[in-house]
């Protein structure tokens, strides 16, 4: 696992000449603890239960989407589900950060967001550009691939299970594009529903919350 290292400032003996006042050393110690926790925390900033929640949203969304006749209506169902997923992820990640006594936008959380957001934005722009003209399987393949790329990039600084989750989404995306169009809905269920449930449960169990 790649982790960034914590530089250890030298501690001067108590009462040494030129030593910083006691309270300044206390502040420095608190900063050191916080920095160490942020860098060690890695993925703990992201909620495993939140990922499970996203998977649970995807299941009814897949059912509702499959009943839509037009691609536009089908897409609207998934966009609404994505909005709900973002709310769940943010709320549960904030709750987990509070429980750990860390800011939500901490070192690892910020790095994850910075790596993840560009591909998410690329997906949104592509979706808007393609609108209802694109075949569903192309949209599903692109969503899974881009989401997987974002998670893989964000997870590069995290525990191994996160990039593995990202790669699984990318594999699902490639499989969607290589499969008959009629299978696209199943890849949505298996990807955004199944993979989130499996990896979210694993992360919540192994890394907490």
Partner 1 sequence: MAKRSALADDRRQTPGREGQHPAKPGRARSAEAPAAELDRLIHERLRLGIVSALAADDTLTFSELKSLMQTTDGNLSVHARKLEDAGYIACRKSFEGRLPKTEYTLTASGRRALERYLDHMEAIIRSARAK
Write out the residues near partner 1 by the rule CB under 8 A: 1, 3-11, 13-14, 21-23, 26-27, 29-30, 32-33, 36-42, 44, 100, 102, 207-208
Minimum Å distance from CB 110 to partner 1? 15
The nearer residue to partner 1, 159 or 189, going by C-beta atoms, is 159
Residue 163 neighbours by CB distance under 10 Å: 18
The CA distance from 76 to 68, in Å, is 10
Minimum Å distance from CB 49 to partner 1? 15
Note whether 163 and 151 are within 8 A (CB): yes
Minimum Å distance from CB 188 to partner 1? 33
Minimum Å distance from CB 33 to partner 1? 4
The nearer residue to partner 1, 35 or 171, going by C-beta atoms, is 35
| Beta carbons within 8 Å of 67's beta carbon, 6+ residues apart | none
The nearer residue to partner 1, 49 or 88, going by C-beta atoms, is 49
Task: Report the b/e string of 48-77 with b at 16+ CB within 10 A.
Answer: bbbbbbbbbbbbebbebbeeeeebeebbeb
């Amino acid at each position: 696992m790649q982790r960034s290292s914590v530089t250890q400032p030298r501690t001067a003996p108590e009462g040494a000449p030129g030593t910083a006042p006691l309270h300044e050393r206390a502040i420095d110690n608190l900063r050191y603890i916080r920095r160490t926790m942020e860098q060690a925390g890695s993925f703990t900033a992201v909620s495993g239960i939140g990922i499970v929640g996203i998977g649970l949203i995807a299941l009814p969304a897949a059912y509702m989407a499959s009943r839509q006749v037009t691609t536009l209506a089908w897409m609207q169902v998934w966009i609404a589900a994505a909005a709900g997923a973002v709310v769940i992820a943010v709320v549960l990640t904030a709750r987990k950060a509070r429980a750990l006594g860390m800011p939500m936008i901490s070192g690892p959380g910020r790095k994850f967001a910075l790596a993840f957001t560009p591909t998410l934005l690329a997906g949104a722009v592509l979706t808007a550009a393609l609108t209802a003209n694109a075949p569903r399987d192309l949209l599903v393949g692109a969503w899974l691939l881009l989401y997987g790329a974002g998670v893989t990039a964000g997870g590069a600084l995290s525990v191994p299970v996160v990039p593995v989750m990202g790669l699984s989404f990318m594999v699902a995306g490639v499989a969607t594009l290589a499969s008959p169009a009629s299978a696209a809905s199943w890849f949505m269920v298996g990807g955004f529903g199944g993979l989130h449930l499996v990896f979210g449960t694993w992360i919540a169990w192994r890394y907490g919350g």
